[in-house]
Chains A and B, each alone.
Chain A
Amino acid sequence: GAVVSQHPSWVICKSGTSVKIECRSLDFQATTMFWYRQFPKQSLMLMATSNEGSKATYEQGVEKDKFLINHASLTLSTLTVTSAHPEDSSFYICSVTGAGARDNYGYTFGSGTRLTVV
């Protein structure tokens, strides 16, 4: 299957600062990446869908100006949490898929980033 690297694994930041999370597809071209958020003891909730070279599509209730997504290349998508607040503390996970990839490549997730805002 695909190899997806997500960095950092965890980050602690002060309220009001911005944090950037990277998601890299290491062995195939990811034309589409998905960003999920997971609160403790809950399921994964889709935040946005990101297609290479175009603007991300955000789910209802997700602020696009707060959660900036950039997918400038076929191997890298970034999620920047701007002006983070304690309620943004969560587990953020990316997932990748790509044209021409084996079908099950579309189901590979990164290892997640635990964000704690203090």
Chain B
Amino acid sequence: EVQLVQSGGGLVPPGGSLRLSCEASGFVVDDLYMSWVRQAPGRGLEWVSVIYSGGSTFYADSVRGRFTISRDNSKNTVFLQMNSLRPDDTAVYFCARRYPGEGYDFWGQGVLVAVSS
């Protein structure tokens, strides 16, 4: 059974850092495209980042230079390191997987990141 289990959310002051984890089961993260998508309270979905099976990464302009997506194949886990956090980064963060040419078919449960003093 495919599952994505997320951890690492919480409350952090502006300028702080946080690392989110997304542990996969039922498939190998290195075989697919793994992404992070976020949703601010009461708002729509915002694509954040992707890591390819070959290791290439892409980011939304709003997080480039502050966030880093990575993968630990031995743990079958994808991470999002978030630095220099700002109040407008407050959102529920989802990880999701995608086959090339298709949509995001499995999603994590989402974790809340709140940036506030």
B is bound to A? no
Binding site for B on A (CB under 8 A): none
Binding site for A on B (CB under 8 A): none
